Chain A
Amino acid sequence: EVQLLESGGGLERPGGSLRLSCAASGFSFGSYGMTWVRQAPGKGLEWVTSVSDTGRSAYYGDSVRGRFIVSRDNSRETLYLQMNSLRPEDTAVYYCAKNSEWSPVGFFGPWGLGTLVTVSS
């Protein structure tokens, strides 16, 4: 059974940094692309970033490009999201999800339960 467990969320001040992790199990992690999606309180889903199986290829949403960096450690079966220059509008639950294939493109699921990031002074 595929399991994804996000961690690293919390309260951070504007301009600060956080690193989220997503620990994967139940599938061949290094063979699949991975994705981060976020959801602000009471709002809809927003795609953040997707990365290929090797980590060499990644795409980013407009609102995070240049501030967030996705990476992965296939030996640890873990996906990361380095979040820099945080803004209040980055406040959201962050979900990681398994892609349908090796590339960043396709569909994704299942998803983890999410980790809450709050950016506030």
Chain B
Amino acid sequence: YVLTQAPSVSVAPGQTANIPCGGNNIEVKVVHWYQQRPGQAPVLVLYGDKSRPSGIPERFSGSNSGNTATLTISRAEAGDEADYYCLVWDSSSDRYFFGSGTRVTVL
């Protein structure tokens, strides 16, 4: 199962960044999102398409429809600069798949 992510996204401070994750009929799968800042371990920012773990700001939201799941960062801050990865479990192959990652730059 292939997950397609754009290599990079740029956003101005205070604006909204949309980070798409494309997959065949991805809407029937459950998508999770990870943030990885430079030199750090990944951190879960969304699970189950749109739920936020405790400690993750409300500025992070998600959606999943058709062939695209989207992580949205509202009111972007410098601290949001990181690589973002989508993740799904494919029950037909019993495997997890990560997207290739999107680098978000706030400038």
A interface, CB within 8 angstroms of B:
35, 37, 44-47, 50, 59, 61-62, 95, 100, 105-114
Contacting pair A44 B85 (CB below 8 A) = yes
Complex: chain B residue closest to A61, CB-CB: B95
Which residues from 62 to 104 on chain B have a C-beta closer than 8 Å to any C-beta of chain A? 83, 85, 87, 89, 91, 94-101
Residue of A at shortest CB range from B100? Answer: A44
Interface residues of B in 15-38 (CB under 8 A from A): 32, 34, 36
Interface SS majority for chain A: strand
Between-chain CB contacts (< 8 Å), 6 pairs: A45-B85, A46-B98, A100-B47, A107-B32, A107-B48, A109-B44
Interface residues of B (CB under 8 A from A): 32, 34, 36, 41-44, 47-48, 53, 83, 85, 87, 89, 91, 94-101
Tell me the complex Cα distance, A100–B47, Å.
10
Which B residues are in CB contact (< 8 Å) with A110? 41, 43-44
| Additional pairs, 20, CB under 8 Å, beyond known A37-B42, A109-B34, A109-B42 | A35-B96, A44-B85, A45-B34, A45-B87, A45-B98, A47-B97, A59-B94, A59-B96, A61-B95, A95-B42, A107-B47, A107-B87, A108-B44, A109-B53, A110-B41, A110-B43, A110-B44, A111-B42, A113-B41, A114-B41
Chain A contacts for B101, CB-based, 8 A: 44-45
Chain B residues contacting A37 (CB-CB under 8 Å) are: 42, 98
Q: Which residues of A contact B98 (CB under 8 A)?
A: 37, 44-47
B48 touches A45 (CB 8 A): no
* Chain B residues with CB below 8 A from A35, complex form: 96
Find out whether the CB atom of B96 lies under 8 angstroms from the CB atom of A50.
Answer: yes
Partner of B95, one of A59, A100, A107, A113: A59
Given that A44-B85, A47-B98 are contacting pairs, would A111 and B32 also be in contact in the complex, using a CB cutoff of 8 Å?
no
Instruction: Specify the chain B residue showing the minimal Cβ separation from A6.
Output: B41
Q: CA of A111 to CA of B35 in the docked complex: distance in angstroms?
A: 12
Q: Which residue of A is nearest B40, CB measured?
A: A113
